[in-house]
Amino acid sequence: MACIEARGLRKAYGATVALDGVDLRVEEGRILGLIGPNGAGKTTALNAILGLTPYQGELKVLGLDPWAVRDQLMRDVCFISDVAVLPRWIQVSQALEYLQGVHPRFDRAKAEGFLAKTSIKNANKVKELSKGMVVQLHLALVMAIDARLLVLDEPTLGLDILYRKQFYDSLLNDYFDRSRTILMTTHQVEEIQDVLTDLMFIDRGRIVLSCSMEEFETRYTEVMMNPEKLEAARALKPMYERQVFARSVLLFDKVDRKLLDALGETRTPSIADLFVAVMKR
């Protein structure tokens, strides 16, 4: 069964169309990055998936209709977002107690284990913690939930490099396994390139690119050009061309790498480079 399945997902706020007929299918056990410029519809898509907003079209998450049964869905879905902040007044011990009380899949001992590795104390209130520590706390709470889908919306926004690195490390080492699915959005795409198994670009409410990371690596090639071979390369119809230190860098889609090796230095592009290429097209 697919973890998330959407067909013709639409959502409009007045005259603004946030989602314009999105089709997507996320299998279980994948880590999907949903990348898009500001206002592309990422958050709206996530909100629809989480049952936070009504929508038109068909959407099933773990076989359920999110808007109809959000509370039921949330037994198996977790969510960390820059806009879903922990309340400032709550004490760490209260948060643990409350989750233990209302969440059937929350394992308090596990959360306390994660927290023991940080400098967060049970008696701390959220307002006494730094931003990085609040995210650590939120992650500890969420990782102690035996969920099937984890949704991360800009989870590391505003964190320094150390916290960001640690965030993805603990996510992969202590949480992810093949039975879980992770769906994330972020603008810091370079950080998640090695984390993802699947990639999706969204722009103006539409999915403009969707591929697995294996596919990404075989399909796209970036070439730092030999200047004299530029014309030959352009004949192969690169999808994007840019200048780096006065040299042309061309990005190709589905062109044999052996062919390109003769034209200059080839490499797999970064997600960011591909993103720019797709958005500029």
Partner 1 sequence: MSAGASAMEGVRETARTIPGTETLYWCVRRELWEHRAVYIGPVAAAGVFLFGFLIGLFRLPHQMREAIADPAKMKHFGQSYEFAAGAIMVVAMIVQIFYCMDALQGERRDRSILFWKSLPVSDLMTVLSKASIPFVILPVLSFGVVVVTGFVMLVMSSVVLALSGLSPGPLWTQLGLVQGAFGLLYHMVMVHILWYAPIYGWLLLISAWARRAALLWAVLPPLGIGVLERLVFGTSHFAMWVQYRFSAGMEAQAMPGTMPINPATQFTPGRFFETPGLWLGWMVTVVCFVLAVRIRRNREAN
Tell me if 197 contacts partner 1 by CB under 8 A: no
Is the Cβ–Cβ distance between 180 and 147 less than 8 Å? yes
Residue number, 52 or 172, with CB nearest to partner 1:
52
Residue number, 19 or 50, with CB nearest to partner 1:
50
Least Å distance, CB 144 to partner 1, is 8
Q: How far from each other are the two terminal CA atoms of the chain, in whole angstroms?
A: 35
Q: CA-CA distance, 197 to 32, in Å (whole number)? A: 6
Least Å distance, CB 28 to partner 1, is 10
Q: CA-CA distance, 68 to 84, in Å (whole number)? A: 21
The contact mask relative to partner 1 for 102-141 (x = CB under 8 A, - = no) is: xxxx-x-xx---------------------------x---
Tell which one of 65, 146, 241, 253 touches partner 1 (CB under 8 A). Answer: 146
The contact mask relative to partner 1 for 59-98 (x = CB under 8 A, - = no) is: -----------xxxxxx-xxx-x-xxxxxxxxx--x--xx
Least Å distance, CB 260 to partner 1, is 40
Residue number, 71 or 228, with CB nearest to partner 1:
71
Residue number, 35 or 147, with CB nearest to partner 1:
147
Nearest to 170 by CA among 105, 91, 110: 110
Q: CA-CA distance, 51 to 281, in Å (whole number)? A: 33
Residue number, 10 or 257, with CB nearest to partner 1:
10
**Tokens matching residue 230:** 């530029």
Is the Cβ–Cβ distance between 26 and 4 less than 8 Å? yes
Sheet with 56-61, edge to edge strand ranges? 16-27, 2-13, 56-61
Least Å distance, CB 47 to partner 1, is 8
- Specify the stretch interacting with partner 1 by CB under 8 A; choose among 55-63, 100-108, 115-123, 234-242: 100-108
Is the Cβ–Cβ distance between 219 and 259 less than 8 Å? no
CB atoms under 10 Å from CB of 115, counted, come to: 20
Residue number, 100 or 268, with CB nearest to partner 1:
100
CA angle (188 as vertex; 184, 194 as ends), nearest 5: 70
Least Å distance, CB 53 to partner 1, is 8
Which distant-in-sequence residues (6+ apart) come within 8 Å of 266 by Cβ?
221, 222, 223, 224, 257, 260
Least Å distance, CB 198 to partner 1, is 19
Residues 11-30 close enough to bind partner 1 by CB under 8 A: none
Least Å distance, CB 72 to partner 1, is 7
146-164 residues labelled b (16+ CB within 10 A) or e (exposed)? bbbbbbbbbbbeebeeebb
Which residues sit at the interface with partner 1, rule CB under 8 A?
A: 47, 50, 52-54, 70-75, 77-79, 81, 83-91, 94, 97-99, 101-105, 107, 109-110, 138, 146, 148, 177-180
